[in-house]
């Protein structure tokens, strides 16, 4: 069993593991119900049906417990979106997720493994990158991302509460999520200058963070808010693709004029 981050004593015996998991499940449920800030160690112990000493046996404080659940959330979203790289060291910890919805956990393939394209599949003819339509797989990649996000938010206790807390944190100037978004933008808008891609990546983070925060706080209206996230991601990506096409057209026209 892999070691959990933030744990002062790793559970090894079956009974100890069961208690440990019960504590995490109770903490996650409370994070979702009342929020991370309002949750106390005493409330976690009460919900789990264990003594407060049992909670402190595994976790020094609530921040340590939060780090454990955040690391599991990061690993799970990575596993769902990018199963081939789920065990990579780049999965990161709670801080990676806090800087942008899921940290670098969202890398994958546009054909069904997250937002970013993966390697060519055997037997499949990949289009010439010069002639390929950069907007062709936008809906597929965005739909997969939203479906995976909805799945993890629904199946992991604490995922909503953690994401709501992390979305309120200031966005970092540089982080794995920003780098990942720039690669995603480069695929669909390959002719945008690097500085424009950087601005676009930060715009993605700012807008989608606000909408995802509304989604995780929406309760039964979660699906409707996630549909808004889908619309924003797909629409902004198409706008960047059009801008990129205009840059390319201008460049090609200038080059043709120079040759004439």
pLDDT of residue 115: 57
Q: How far apart are CA 11 and CA 57, in angstroms?
A: 10
Q: What is the pTM of this model?
A: 0.64
* Spatial contact of 144 and 151, defined as CB atoms under 8 Å apart: no
Question: For the residues 44-54, what does the mean pLDDT come to?
Answer: 96
Nearest alpha-carbon partner for 198 in 177, 172, 179, 211: 179
* Spatial contact of 99 and 181, defined as CB atoms under 8 Å apart: no
Nearest alpha-carbon partner for 129 in 191, 180, 178: 191
Of residues 251 and 237, more confidently modeled: 237
Q: Convert the pLDDT of each residue in 230-241 to its tens digit.
A: 898 899 999 999
Percent of the chain exceeding pLDDT 70 equals: 69
Give the CA distances from residue 191 to residues 160, 203, 211, 246, in Å, rounded to whole numbers and listed in that order.
37, 18, 28, 9
Q: Convert the pLDDT of each residue in 73-126 to its tens digit.
A: 878 877 776 655 445 533 343 334 333 333 333 333 333 345 554 433 334 334
Query: Measured on CA atoms in the order 80, 88, 184, 119, is the torsion positive or negative?
Result: negative
Is residue 14's pLDDT more than 70? yes
pLDDT of residue 172: 54
Nearest alpha-carbon partner for 116 in 89, 146, 138, 132: 138
Q: Convert the pLDDT of each residue in 162-190 to its tens digit.
A: 888 877 766 554 455 677 778 888 888 99
Q: Give me the chain's average pLDDT, please.
A: 75
Q: How far apart are CA 171 and CA 179, in angstroms?
A: 13
Of residues 89 and 22, more confidently modeled: 22
pLDDT of residue 169: 66
Which of 12-21, 113-122, 248-257 has the weakest average pLDDT? 113-122
Q: How far apart are CA 165 and CA 65, in angstroms?
A: 14
pLDDT of residue 55: 95
Is residue 127's pLDDT more than 90? no
Q: What phi-psi label fits residue 152: left (phi over 0), alpha (psi between -120 and 50 degrees) or beta?
A: alpha
Q: How far apart are CA 76 and CA 152, in angstroms?
A: 7
């Amino acid at each position: 069993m892999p070691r959990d981050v933030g744990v002062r004593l790793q559970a090894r015996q079956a009974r100890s593991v069961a208690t440990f998991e019960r504590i995490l499940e109770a903490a996650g449920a409370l994070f979702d119900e009342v929020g991370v800030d309002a949750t106390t160690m005493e409330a976690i112990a009460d919900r789990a049906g264990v003594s407060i000493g049992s909670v402190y046996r595994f976790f020094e404080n609530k921040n340590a417990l939060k780090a454990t659940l955040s690391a599991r959330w990061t690993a799970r979203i990575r596993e769902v979106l990018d199963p081939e790289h789920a065990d990579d060291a780049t999965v990161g910890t709670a801080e990676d997720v806090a800087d942008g919805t899921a940290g670098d956990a969202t890398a994958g393939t546009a054909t069904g493994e997250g937002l970013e394209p993966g390697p060519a599949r055997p037997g499949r003819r990949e289009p010439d990158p010069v002639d390929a339509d950069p907007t062709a797989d936008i809906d597929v990649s965005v739909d997969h991302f939203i479906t995976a996000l909805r799945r993890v938010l629904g199946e992991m206790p604490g995922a909503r509460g953690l994401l709501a807390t992390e979305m309120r944190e200031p966005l970092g100037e540089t982080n794995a999520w920003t780098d990942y978004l720039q690669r995603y933008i480069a695929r669909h808008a390959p002719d945008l200058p690097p500085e424009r891609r950087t601005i676009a990546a930060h715009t993605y983070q700012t807008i989608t963070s606000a909408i995802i925060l509304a989604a995780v706080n929406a309760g039964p209206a979660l699906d409707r808010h996630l549909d808004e996230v889908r619309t924003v991601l797909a629409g902004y990506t198409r706008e960047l693709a059009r801008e990129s096409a205009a840059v390319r057209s201008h460049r090609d026209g200038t080059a043709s004029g120079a040759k004439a």
